[in-house]
Structures are given as structure tokens and as C-alpha cells.
Amino acid sequence: MLIKTYGSAVYGVDALTITVEVNISPGIRFFLVGLPDNAVKESHQRISAALKNNGYKIPGKEITINMAPADIKKEGSAYDLTLAIGILAASGQVSKPEMTEDYIIMGEVALDGQLRSIKGALPIAIKAKKEGFKGIILPKKNAQEAAIVEGLEVYGADTLAEVIDLFDGKSDLQPTKFDINKEFENYDAISGVDFADVKGQENVKRALEIAAAGGHNAIMIGPPGSGKSMLAKRLSTILPPLSMDEALETTKIHSVSGLLGDTTGLITQRPFRSPHHTVSDVALVGGGSNPKPGEISLAHNGILFLDELPEFKRQVLEVMRQPLEDRVVTISRAKISVDYPASFMLIAAMNPSPSGDFYDPSGQSGDPEHIVKRYLAKISGPLMDRIDLHIEVQPVPYEKLSNKEEGENSKTIRARVIKARNIQIERFKEINGMHSNAQLTPKLVKKYCQIDAAGEALLKNAMEKLGLSARSYERIFKVARTIADLENTSNIEVQHIAEAIQYRSLDRDGWLG
């Protein structure tokens, strides 16, 4: 008897339906074909033990299983449940074998029949809905995640026996329901941090507000203990809440990485990733023998925070250059190429010198100028080209640390950021894939960043007097455009240019002096 069951393979952040054909005929052999890896081949032993421990058996006949398409490698233990139900249906051990045509079935089976969670349940569910399946059957821990997809019956089971009962018409399992609105409630309470916690540093808060409003990359330069990490961790609280499309994109990436919790089906908070400076280039951008997302993809629609930037290996930093421009990472292998989204804000922090002190040519402390320049040279020019704001962070004096008054909270700042972002969304609505000023190309800078004669004169004077590099020119326009949006003015004015110039400190001649 020939039976077809259906599973799914995840490549990148998308799924591909796998047809599992099970044929049982006279004989005593077992064949599993269709380019399965070792984990899939080992499923025979897991399924055999699980069925025996639950009162069923693998028939003593010739069993041939083909996993199609046969030219794509099938990896992992998530096909255990697909294969087990196929064997039971083909051998007549379930009363409703025709149900296998209607469902995607996935799950790892333990020897006692317990079902273990899988990776990529959300993209699998999205693909199942797209291809017209009635529903999906998978471990209960993945049910909330898959139930995000509307119009799909999602059955979450704890054991193999529960799934068998479903195909026997004896199950009391009910489709899992997902309340999207409930997931987006209490946005402010979840993160547990707030800009109101930060004492002083008003200039840095202003700069980070500009970064958030325009989606700009930023670097903070200041001595240890000045609050760089504290400020960076609070930046996500002033970013606009995730839209539904962004939440789905972000959740898909974390799903295929196996990073979703058992109770959380949908990621509603913008990610904040902070890898250690010992991270490898593969861990940062993704890849490996079995490609999976790296830190920059896990930060998609959120923030990638690199603390102590000069301590990262230069090779590691250089591999970020293309993703920062393209907002996608392509991992190519001999037989397959996968894309991972990587649209994130890069927020970096560093000391101004190896000792951590600002260089002062008239003082006794700190490092000599040539030591400082060598330290800064660890960060390449092309990488700095992709950072819009350079923010100097000074230590907070005791008077401000001891001040009992709270500063402006994240909710208030975020309201201004959202207004500025809405202006940009409206401005770029005809341009596919563009939603913030940080994405402006040189051609679009000329179109949307016009300045008057007074602004031109100020910028020309600044370039000459401060020794600003050529890389500063377009960055100043982009940041000035965002400052104007925060003030809800259609034209970039002189004061906007003046403020944007302040955020190019690393490009100035003798900036530490």
C-alpha cells in the first residue's frame, strides 16, 4: 500500500514542502531514500522503539520510503513524526489514512513516544497555508508559534499516541488559537529598562533619539563608566513598535535558529543583540556547514550592539560591510544559496584610547597621540563610512548622579521618534523597501536633502575649518534630514546642519584635542 505524508524543510527563513512516500510490500527490508542525512536515517530506530512502547509496531515487510524532491538534502530529526505516521497509515494501523493528505506533520519522537520541539515552525506553517494544506500537526511546544498563521488548523501534541488518536478519530485535541492583540499588549512593561534611568547625558540621549528617528548607525566614544552600554541597552525602548510584518520576519529568523521560548509564539519587541568581541565572522554574519543565521540576522529589525569595537577582530568587522549596505546576507554553498534578512541598526561603543581616557595634550594622564591614532586605526575607513553619528560620551558629574529627579522617559521620546518615522514612511512610500533616512542613496540625498545658501556656506566652512573628511558630506545631509523631521519641518535649516556637523567628531583633524 502506498501512502503520502508531508513534512517540510527550512532553507534560510523559508520552507519547502517535502513529500514522504511510504510503500509497503512483501519482504523484510527497510529502504529510506531521497538524500536523507544521518539524523534522518537514524529515525528508523527511534520510530521502532516509540511504536513498540505505545502498543504499535513496524510491520515485518519491505518498507520503502522516498523523500521528495530527492535532490535536496533532508536534515535533522524533525521528520520522525512524518515517517512514523506514514508507516502506520501504509500498514493499516490507523483508521483514517486519508487525513495524511491534508496536514503537514513534523516532530522529533523520543523512544517513549514523547514529541520534542522542532525549529522553523513559523515558516513551515506559512508554507503550509500557501500550498493549501488544511493544517499542521507538530509538538505542543511549537503550536503557539505556528498558530500565528490564520486560516490553518494547528494541532499541538505532547505524544505520538495523541497524534495516532487524531488519525483514528478518537482524539480530543483542539486546534491551537493565537491572540495577536494580546501579544502586543504591555509593550512598555516587557523590556524593564527606560531612558528615565539614565542620569545626565542629555546630549547623548538627543543623539540616540536622532539615530532612532532616522534608523542611523551610531558609535559612542567615551571612557569606561560613562554609561555607553547603559544608554545602548535603552535605545530599543525608543524605537517604534514592530509592525505585524516586521514581527513575523523577526520571529521567522529566531524560529529557524531555535531561539523561541516554549510560551512565546511571536516576537513583539525589537531584538537587541550584543555579541562578545571574541565572536567569529561565521557567528556574526551566519553560515557554517549547515547554514544558519548569525548575530546580524538575529538583530534584524532591531539593534546590533558592539561594545569595545576596536577589540573585535578586523576580519570580523569587515564582513559586516556588505550587509550594512544591502541589508541582507547571502550564504552560498555548492548546491544551495540562502538569504537571511539583516536590516539592523549598528550601535558601537569604544574607549577614546587604549587606557580609556580622552587624549589631552596639555595633561599628564592618558595615552600619547600616536598611540591613540594607532588604536583608532583598528577600525577601517570603509566601516566608518557606514556610521552616521559619532557621539562623545563624557563621565557624569556627581551633582547629576545624585539628582533625584528622573529624566525624560522612553515613552515620551518614542512618541517623537514615531512621528519622525511616519514622515519618512510617507516621503518614501513610492520607493520599494525604503522606510528611513539612513537608507538614502547619493541620488536621493540630492532630491530630499536640499539646503539654502546659508546652509551651504556653513557646511563649506565646517568642511574646511574642522578638516572634515569627504565621507562626512552625505552623512551630514542624512542626519540633518532626520533632525528636520523630528522638528516636523519640510526644509533642512541652518541649525539642523549645525547640529549634524557635531556628530562627525571622528572625522575631524585632531578631534581628541
pLDDT tens for each residue of 444-480: 999 999 999 999 999 999 888 887 777 788 899 999 9
Note the pLDDT tens digit of each residue in 377-415: 888 888 888 899 999 998 888 787 777 777 889 999 999
Q: What confidence category does residue 89 fall into, taking pLDDT thresholds of 50, 70 and 90?
A: very high
Residue 337, pLDDT above cutoff 50? yes
Specify whether 297 is located in the same domain as 414.
yes
Choosing from 124, 139, 168, the residue where a domain stops is: 168
Q: How far apart are CA 280 and CA 300, in angstroms?
A: 19
Length of the chain: 513
Specify whether 158 is located in the same domain as 199.
no
Tell me, yes or no, whether 461 lies in a domain. no
Tell me, yes or no, whether 174 lies in a domain. no
Q: How high is the pLDDT of residue 359?
A: 53
**Percent of residues, the chain, with pLDDT higher than 90:** 66
Report the number of secondary-structure helices (H) and strands (E) in the chain: 23, 18
Q: How high is the pLDDT of residue 45?
A: 93
Residue 265, pLDDT above cutoff 80? no
Specify whether 43 is located in the same domain as 98.
yes
Tell me, yes or no, whether 205 lies in a domain. yes
Q: What angle do CA 149, 153, 157 make, to 5 degrees?
A: 105
Residue 513, pLDDT above cutoff 50? no
Can you say whether residue 421 is alpha, beta or left, with left for phi > 0 and alpha for psi between -120 and 50 degrees?
A: alpha
Q: How high is the pLDDT of residue 182?
A: 76
Tell me, yes or no, whether 470 lies in a domain. no
Q: In angstroms, what CA-CA distances link 20 with 36, 72, 88, 136, 273? A: 11, 13, 13, 15, 38
Choosing from 431, 448, 472, the residue where a domain stops is: 431
* Most confident by average pLDDT, 263-272, 284-293, 456-465, 483-492: 483-492
| The dihedral sign for the CA sequence 71, 77, 80, 81 | negative
Q: How far apart are CA 497 and CA 479, in angstroms?
A: 8
Mean pLDDT, range 201-214, rounded to an integer: 95
Q: What is the identity of the amino acid at 222?
A: G
Mean pLDDT, range 106-123, rounded to an integer: 95
Instruction: Work out the mean pLDDT of the chain and round it to a whole number.
Output: 89
Q: How high is the pLDDT of residue 511?
A: 45
Q: How far apart are CA 358 and CA 513, in angstroms?
A: 9
Q: How high is the pLDDT of residue 401?
A: 77
What is the secondary structure of 87-123 as a DSSP string? HHHHTT-SS-GGGGGTEEE--EE-TTSBEE--S-HHH
* Most confident by average pLDDT, 39-43, 194-198, 502-506: 39-43
Tell me, yes or no, whether 146 lies in a domain. yes
The count of domains in the chain is 2
Specify whether 32 is located in the same domain as 111.
yes
Instruction: Report the CATH number that the domain containing residue 386 is assigned in CATH.
Output: 3.40.50.300
Q: How high is the pLDDT of residue 495?
A: 95
Residue pair 504/475 in contact by the 8 Å Cβ criterion: yes
Q: Tell me the residue range of the domain where 327 lies.
A: 187-431
Q: How high is the pLDDT of residue 312?
A: 93
Q: Rounded to 5 degrees, what are φ and ψ at 388?
A: -85, -35
- Give the burial class of 24: count Cβ atoms within 10 A of its Cβ; 0-12 exposed, 13-18 middle, 19 or more buried: buried
Q: How high is the pLDDT of residue 512?
A: 39
Choosing from 431, 460, 475, the residue where a domain stops is: 431
Mean pLDDT, range 41-49, rounded to an integer: 94
Mean pLDDT, range 50-70, rounded to an integer: 93
Specify whether 304 is located in the same domain as 381.
yes
Q: How high is the pLDDT of residue 505?
A: 83
* Most confident by average pLDDT, 112-121, 313-322, 360-369: 112-121
Specify whether 155 is located in the same domain as 193.
no
Specify whether 196 is located in the same domain as 131.
no
Tell me, yes or no, whether 311 lies in a domain. yes
Q: How high is the pLDDT of residue 283?
A: 93
Q: How far apart are CA 42 and CA 84, in angstroms?
A: 13
In the structure grid, which three cell numbers stand for residue 324, read together? 550594512
